[in-house]
Structures are given as structure tokens and as C-alpha cells.
Structure 1
Amino acid sequence: MIIEARPPLLRRLPAGVWVGAFWTLVIVFRVFTRDDELRCLFEYDGNIESMPLLVTAVVTTLVTSLLVRLPLAAIAVALAGFLFTLGMTRVPETAVAQFLIADAVVGHTAATRSRAVSLCAAAMPVALAAGMLAWGLRNGYPANPMAFGALAGTVLIAWLIGNTVHQGRAHTEALRGRATEQAVTAERLRIARELHDMVAHNIGIIAIQAGMGSRVMDTQPAETRNALNAIEATSRETLAGLRRMLGALRAGEPESAPLEVSPGLAELDRLVERSAGAGVRVALTRGGEPRALPADVDLAAFRIVQEAVTNVVKHSGTRDCRVTVDYRPHELAVAVVDLGAGPAAAGPGTGYGIAGMRERVALLQGEFSAGPRPDGGFLVAARLPIPVEVGP
């Protein structure tokens, strides 16, 4: 059972409570500090023209309380305050302030709600301004069309600002979703590539050992036993690798830590031994001064050698190949050469070995080549750049 911690009490209070508390303090302060010059703005003596502060306090408190859940009701409250304060001829600014409060709610609604709700919100003050203008013209009341047009213009500006914020937020969310989708796709491709390289190599070794064991089962029991031991060891290694991959997929759970570290060039000796057990002799040559490599470069170099040796085992028809790993000052050069026919280029139905190696190198901004050699055989070569900070 997951129990979420409740936020502090002050954060749980609605915004309307804070606004009401603010106006209460203002009014109480005004009561204890009489000021004749501002009396018409803050005192109530039975005349509607002497209560703009009280109206503004009530309207803003109600609007803030209704803004999140009922934005249209909040606009209605602000417009009611506007109509109520129109008769305050001594303080005409109060009516304008109420209309601007309605504009602010329109902008907030356009920024946070759907297009239909925001258009309804904008239509309310515009319709009120248009209705008041029509009523004034019909009844001979001195109404200034420019003034009401200016009020409608403030509504349009508020809606445009809010709608721009809404579109910007939607665009940001779309970009974030697209980036997440691309990251998920890249991770799936990486896992598929890792599974292909690991399983294809080990299953190829198992198949060759099983075939050899079946051929010498009756005549050479010791060789059969060796083949079965090699099959057992390789299959256990494959199973451990699959568990590690599944553990990586469940990395968000505490108990799913990878069972082993990702392989690197330090595993080349074991790769040579497994290949020898499958009947392929691998001559491994290391050049330069071996040193620590970035994890992605180390893994990519190992997978390239592993895939190339797997192709030798499965396709080349030869029993000898040469692997060269050259540690250069700013790059790592890897080459696998055999004297057989070499694998076919990746295409429909022919697998993705060479394509996968080429993709690995491209992701590291390196250079890759694979193809028949002029004097026979097949060559796989890659050059992987090494960041300067990882040097000796």
C-alpha cells in the first residue's frame, strides 16, 4: 500500500482563502487608520459610491475561489461586479477594475482550458459590452461606442495572450512526447541489437558443438562429453545474458539490478576460447597500450568482434581468422580478417549482422567497412573515436 504524504496545511488552503485574508487585513487596517483624503474609496456610509473597496474585495475573493473549478462562473461574478459599480460616478475606475478582472479570468481560461470553453469565456464580456451599447443607443442613453469597443478589445487581447500560452504548452508537451517516443524506440533498438549479437553468437557455437557431438558420439565418447560441456557452459552464459537484459528492462524496480556488467574487450580471451571450441582458431593481436575505454566504445568494439567471429563460424567455411585490436592515441581500431567466403550483405532474409555493426559505429561517429578482400577472404574493420579525457 502506497501512502502519499499530505502537503502542509498552508498549501492545502484554497487561493480564495488567501485573497479573502488579504482584503480582511486591508479593511481592518483602514478601520484603525482613518484618512479623510481616501474616505470616499474605503468607507461605507450607506451611499453606493463609497464602497468600492468592499465590492472589489468580495469580487476578487469569489473570482479566485471559482477560478480553477468554475471559470465561467468566475467571469460572471466579475461582470456582476462591473455592472454593480457602474453607478459609482465618483469612483469610475472601480468598474474598469472589475472588467479587467474578468479579462484576467478570460486569459487564464484560454491558457488552461479547451478552445470551446475559452471561447465561451471570451464571449461573455464581449456580449455584455455589445448588449450595453445596444441598450444605450436604443434608449437614448449617452453611450460611447469607442469605450465599449475598447472594453471588447481588452477581452480579445486577454484571450490571445492566454491562447498563445496554451498553444506553447501544447507544443512543448508534443515535443516532450516525441522525444520520449524516440528515446523508447532507440532503447528498443539497442536491446534488440544486444540480444541479436549475444544470442546469435552463442547459439551458433551451440549448434556447431551439438553437430560435432552427434557425429563422434559412438566413436569418441570423450569428445562428445567435451561438446556437451561446451554446450552447457554456452547455454548458461546465454541464459545469464538474457536475465541481464530483462533486468535492464525492469531497471525501475529495486530488485532488478543487472546480474552482470556489460561485456567489453576484456572478454575477448573468453571469446577466443569459445570459438576454438567451435572449431575456429582465432589469432588475437593487441596493438598500442591497452587502457580504460568509455563503456559504449568498449561494448561496441566487443560486439563488432563477436559478430564478425560469429559470421566466420557460420558462413565463411574457414577455420582460421585474425582479430586485431589497436589502441591508438585518439581512436580504437578493430579488424577481423578471414580467408573464407565471408558473410553475405544484410538484406531481406539474410540477417542484420553487418547492418548492426555499421549502426553501432555510426552512433559513435566512427568509420566502418566490411567486404571481400582483393586477395581473398573477408574483412570487417572499424575505427571508433575515443574522447580525449579517457586517454592514458
Structure 2
Amino acid sequence: MPASATSPLLKRLPPGLWTLLAWYAAAVAPIVEYVVLTPRHKYSLSYPGEGLDPFGARALLTLAFALVFAAAALTRRRAGAAYGLLILGTVVSTVAWRQDEIPPTQFLALDIALCHIAATRPRRTSLTAGAAALAVPVGYLLVRLWTGNGSGTASEPFMALTVVIAWLVGHSAHQARAHTEELHARAAAQAVIAERLRIAREMHDTVAHSIGIIALQAGAAARIVETRPGQAREAMLVVEREGRETLSGLRRMLGTLRQADEERSSAFPGGEPAGHGHARASRDPAPGLADLERLAATTTDAGVRVEIRRLGGHRPLPAATDLAAFRIVQESVTNVVRHSGADSCRVDIDHRAHELLIEVSDRGPGTGTAGDTGYGLVGMRERVALLHGEFTAGPRAGGGFVVTVRLPVPAAADATATGARVLATDGTGGR
């Protein structure tokens, strides 16, 4: 159902129409009461029965109706000009009836138009319109005082008060709309920043490990290419394999980023979907804990032996948790290769009742600390925070470094689909 079908009447009708209805209702009421119907009184100080007898009076009243109708039509496009026509039509109406003040009910239309201008136009424009509205009753009051017809209770102070209230209401609506737009813009900017951080973190985790392995293998191959060509060839094959896997990961990531555009393009039957290669890459399964053995084999070939120890009853994990766990282990192992100076490290994966415990430790002489400002630890900490887990990293007793992560795991039913994907990917049930 369209949103307009359930929106309030105040929002469905344009402001110009509300102004027109209010003014016409106030202008037609005295015509019906004092001209069309039989007068219940012999005279009226505001609307004398013979007030519209002259042709000129009827012509002026017709002109006033036309001016107000034109003002209502111009309200959206030229609010300032429309407001001027509305004031002029109101003044002409009082001249037609030979009145010395504007009836408060008819002045209500000016307040409605002023409220709309203050809510939708710049402050300078709304202040100008408000000053013009205040000038009208002040002008009538001065004319009455100058002509000596100042007896009775004047309605001008009341009308001036309605002008101030209408401007304040409209200006408050204008400020509320501006504040809402600012909040939306700020939320959009924060979403962009968060997405950039996620992409940067994913790029770092995907590329840093592979590039480190490639650098080690390429350096080793360069040193032994003449003395041990067979081992040099195996090292270069590892470089080739890591390069291809890194490229595949980048394509999968770019495919995910392009997915929204492709879905938008598919909404048009005649449109040609873009980026078929990226779409195919985005359907590749994301890495998870089932890929740790492959990670360990690659790192071991680079010279750092990785021992994986799985504890607890293995069960499927949600996709986000599975990917984050793999990236955390990958980054921790990369840090061991780069900074620890150790020739081995151990990865403990403990599936507990309601959480997943990950611990990556080494006994190298490296100087890494928990306060390390590198992007690796920052990225791991952010991943854990997004999943409402716990992250600690620092030197371990007896030497070396240890990274400990606790990730909450929901009920097994929430991860059934992920478990099927993991089993299909690993082929061994992840053990």
C-alpha cells in the first residue's frame, strides 16, 4: 500500500490548499450570513448589509478571491510572491466591505502560510514574511488612530501574537527537519567509515598473510636456486599457489562489494548484469575454521610449523563467527611468521557450550606487545568486538606471545546452514 494512503490529511493536502480553504471559509461566511440569508439583525458593525450593494464593492471582493487563489497556486514555487498576493487579497477584501480592521478568522490564513514559509524556507525569508504579516495589523491600527476611530478593544495585538506563534511553530519544524537531515547524513557517513574499515580489515587479513608467505618463499628460492634447484622450484610453486588464492580472495571480496549494484541492475529486465566474474567469485564459500589445515600446511612450507589442536565437540558455527575465527588465526600466525622469530606455533580451537575459545601461542624471542599499534591486532580486536567477544594479546609467561579470543556461539539451530557449507567445503567434517 502506498505510503500516501496512510499519511495524515495534514500532509496529503498541499499548504496552498489549506491556506485557500481557511481564507475562503472566513471570506464566504459573512456573505452567506449578511447577504444571502435574511439578516437576523438590522445592522452589523463589521459587515453592514449594504456593504456589497455597490458594483465596486463586489468587483473588489471578486478581485480579492482571485488574488488569494493565485497565491495558493504559487505557494510551492514562489512562496514569497504568493504570500504578498495573500496579504494584498486580504486587504482588498476589507476594503470591499469598507472595514477598518481585518477579521481575526480571515487573518488565520496568513498565519498558516507564514508557518509553511518558516518551515520550508531560509530564516531570512521567513523573517521577512513575518515582518510583512505584522505590518498589516499595525498599519490598520495606525490608520484608525489617525482617523480618530480608535474606540473599542483592538484585535491587532491578538493577531500579532498569532503571527509570532505561527513563525515559531514553522521555524521549530524547520530546525527539526534540518537536525533530522544532519543525523541522517552523519549516520550515512558513519556507515561509510564502518564499511571502509571492514574492507580495509578484510583486505589486510586476506593479503597480508599470503604476501608474507610469498616473500619468504621467494627469498628462499632466490638463495637456493643454483645449489638446490628442486627445492627452489617447490618454493616457487608455493608462491604461485598463494598468489592464485590471494587473487581469488580479492575477487570474492570485490564481488561482494559489487553485489548490491548487480541486484539493482537485475531489477531491469532489459538491463545487462555487470561483473559476471565478480558475481561468480562472490558465490565462492568464504574461508572458515575448516581451512585451518591448509593454512597450517602453507605456513609450515614457509618455515614456521603450525600445530593445530581441536578440543571439545565440534559443531557448525554461524558464517560471521566462522570467518572471523579463521581471520584471527590467520593474522596471528602471520604475526608469528613476521615478528616472533619462532620456528613453530600452536593453535588451540576449543568448542565450548556457548562460546568458541581460540588461542594462538609461540615461544619466539620477538618483542611484540599487547600495546602494538600495528593493524593486525587492531583488526582482530575490531572483529571480536563486532561479535561481542573478548580479545587479549600479550607476552606469555616463560617467553613468547599469545593471542586469546572468546567468541559467543548461539544455538546450534542458528548455524545449520553454515554447518552444511563447512562440511561441503572441507569434505572431512572439519576434524
TM range (shorter): 0.7 to 0.9
Contact 1:82 1:96 in 2 (8 A): no
Could you report, residue by residue, the CA deviation over 1:65-92 in whole angstroms, capped at 9, with x for unpaired residues? 0111121222222222221232576999
Distance 2:92 2:118 in 1: 26
Within the candidate set 372, 385, 392, 2:395 is matched to 372
Closer, same or farther: CA 284–149 of 1 in aligned 2, 3 Å: same
Report the CA distance between 1:177 and its aligned residue. 0.8
User: SS where residue 77 of structure 2 aligns?
Assistant: coil
User: SS where residue 223 of structure 1 aligns?
Assistant: helix
User: SS where residue 261 of structure 2 aligns?
Assistant: coil
Greater RCO (CA < 8 Å, at least 6 residues apart): 2
Which amino acid letter does the alignment assign opposite residue 358 of structure 2?
V
Normalising by structure 2, report the TM-score: 0.75
Within the candidate set 362, 382, 385, 2:405 is matched to 382
Instruction: Give the structure 1 partner of residue 82 of structure 2.
Output: 74
Report the CA distance between 1:335 and its aligned residue. 0.8
Could you report, residue by residue, the CA deviation over 1:21-70 in whole angstroms, capped at 9, with x for unpaired residues? 9x9xxx9xx99xxx7469999xx875688899967854553222011112
Normalising by structure 1, report the TM-score: 0.82
Closer, same or farther: CA 19–178 of 1 in aligned 2, 3 Å: closer
User: SS where residue 155 of structure 2 aligns?
Assistant: helix
Closer, same or farther: CA 93–149 of 1 in aligned 2, 3 Å: closer
Distance 2:15 2:178 in 1: 25
Distance 1:320 1:311 in 2: 12
Which amino acid letter does the alignment assign opposite residue 279 of structure 1?
G
Structure 1: runs of 5+ lacking an equivalent: 1-13
Which amino acid letter does the alignment assign opposite residue 193 of structure 1?
R
Distance 1:338 1:37 in 2: 104
Within the candidate set 321, 325, 349, 1:297 is matched to 321
Closer, same or farther: CA 151–282 of 1 in aligned 2, 3 Å: same
The yes-or-no answer on 1:335 pairing with 2:359 is yes
User: SS where residue 225 of structure 1 aligns?
Assistant: helix
Contact 1:16 1:62 in 2 (8 A): no
Contact 1:110 1:166 in 2 (8 A): yes
Distance 1:112 1:296 in 2: 45
Which amino acid letter does the alignment assign opposite residue 196 of structure 2?
R
Within the candidate set 304, 314, 319, 2:338 is matched to 314
Closer, same or farther: CA 363–37 of 1 in aligned 2, 3 Å: farther
Could you report, residue by residue, the CA deviation over 1:284-343 in whole angstroms, capped at 9, with x for unpaired residues? 122223333223222211111001111121222222211111122211111112221245
Distance 2:136 2:350 in 1: 81
Distance 1:93 1:129 in 2: 7
Structure 2: runs of 5+ lacking an equivalent: 1-13, 41-46, 263-273, 417-431
Within the candidate set 165, 169, 177, 2:177 is matched to 169
Once the two structures are overlaid, the 10-residue window that deviates more, 317-326 or 135-144, is 135-144
Report the CA distance between 1:132 and its aligned residue. 1.8
Number of residues of Structure 1 aligned to a counterpart in Structure 2 = 369
Once the two structures are overlaid, the 10-residue window that deviates more, 298-307 or 276-285, is 276-285
The yes-or-no answer on 1:198 pairing with 2:206 is yes
The root-mean-square deviation of aligned C-alpha atoms, in Å, is: 3.6
Which amino acid letter does the alignment assign opposite residue 321 of structure 1?
C
Once the two structures are overlaid, the 10-residue window that deviates more, 141-150 or 354-363, is 141-150
Structure 1 vs Structure 2: percent identity of aligned residues? 47
The yes-or-no answer on 1:325 pairing with 2:349 is yes
Closer, same or farther: CA 101–15 of 1 in aligned 2, 3 Å: closer
The yes-or-no answer on 1:227 pairing with 2:235 is yes
Closer, same or farther: CA 144–342 of 1 in aligned 2, 3 Å: farther
